[in-house]
Amino acid sequence: MDLTKKLFVVGVGPGSTKYLTDYSKEAIKNSNFIVGYNYTLSTIEHVIDKSIQKVFEITMKNQEEIYQHVFNDLMKDNDRCTVPFTGDVNFSESEVVDRLLDLFGDDNVEVIPGISSIQIASAKSRVPLDKATIITFHITGDIEEKKIELAKSVADGKSIILVPRPWPSNPSKNFMPSDISLFLRKNGIDTSKIDVWVFENLTNNEKETEYKGKMDSLENKDFSALSVMVIDQNIRQTYLEF
Ligand SMILES: C[S@@+](CC[C@H](N)C(=O)[O-])C[C@H]1O[C@@H](n2cnc3c(N)ncnc32)[C@H](O)[C@@H]1O
C-alpha cells in the first residue's frame, strides 16, 4: 500500500467556472485539504464541500507557515491536499509550485493544467501563442533581464503576451502597462506606432474590459492588477501562401 501524503497542484482557470475543468474538480473533490488564495478559492467554492474538505485561505505572508502546518501537523498518510492556482498552474506560478514540489516530493505531486489568462488574451487578440513571446513580470524576483528580453522582442518585431507586475505595497516595484510603455519609449522604441491590447478581469462577465490602442496611449493610464497585455505585431499568414 502506498503510504504517502499526496498533493494536487491544479489550475482552475482565469475566474469563470466555465473554464474550470473536470480534472481539476475531481482533484478538489477527492481532497481532504484545500489551501489557496482568496481569488482562487472563490473560483472553486461551488465545488468544495466543507464537511469533507478543510479549507485554508492563505496570503503571501502566511503561506509557508500554512503549507508546513497542513503537511506536517494535519495530513495523515494517504490524505490528499489540493493547492489551486488561478489560470494554468504551469504559467507564472513556479515560485510557489517549486516550493510545494520540495515539500511533498515530486513523486507525490500531480500537476493538473488549467486554462491560462494568457490563452484567453491570445484568443481575444488573435495573436497565436506560437507566434508570441510570453513573459511574466508577476514574480517577486528580479525582472531586469526580462525587461531587456521584452525590449529586444519588440525591436525584433515580435508580438508579446505578458502579465505585468502589480505591487500595491511598494509601487516603485510596479511594472504595469503604463511603466512598460514608458520603459520601451526610453529604450528607443517608437511607441506611437505599436498596437497594444490590455484585458482586465478576463472571463468575469460583469468586470471584464478590453482596451485597444497605440502603446504610447498607455502612459499614465491605470489598469487593474488583474490584467494581461498584448503587444500586437502579428502578421497573419495562411497556408494559401505556401
Ligand atoms: C501570478 S500570475 C498567475 C497567472 C495564472 N497562472 C494564469 O495562467 O493566468 C497572476 C496574474 O495573472 C493575470 N491574470 C490572472 N487571471 C486573470 C484574469 N482573469 N484577467 C486578467 N488577468 C489575469 C494577472 O495579471 C495577475 O496579476
Query: Could you read off the pLDDT of 13-31 as tens digits, one per residue?
Result: 999 999 999 999 999 999 9
CA 58 from centroid of its chain's CA atoms: 17
| pTM (2 d.p.) | 0.96
Say if ligand 1 is within 6 A of residue 137 CB: no
* Domain 117-232 is found in CATH 3.30.950.10: yes
Q: What is the DSSP letter of 224?
A: -
Domain spanning 6-112 has what CATH number? 3.40.1010.10
**Rounded to 5°, angle at Cα 210 from 161 and 239:** 50
Q: Is 12 in the pocket of ligand 1 (CB under 6 A)?
A: no
d(CA 177, CA 240): 36
Atom of ligand 1 nearest to the CA of 208: 20
Contacts of 79 (CB under 8 A, 6+ apart): 5, 6, 32, 33
Contacts of 149 (CB under 8 A, 6+ apart): 133, 135
For 118-159, the pLDDT digits (tens) are 999 999 999 999 999 999 999 999 999 999 999 999 999 999
Domain limits, the chain: 6-112, 117-232
Q: Measured in angstroms, how far is the CA atom of residue 3 from the centroid of ligand 1?
A: 35
| Dihedral over Cα of 2, 78, 25, 66: its sign | negative
What backbone torsions phi and psi does residue 146 show, to the nearest 5 degrees? -65, -35
Q: Separation of 163 CA from ligand 1 center, angstroms?
A: 7
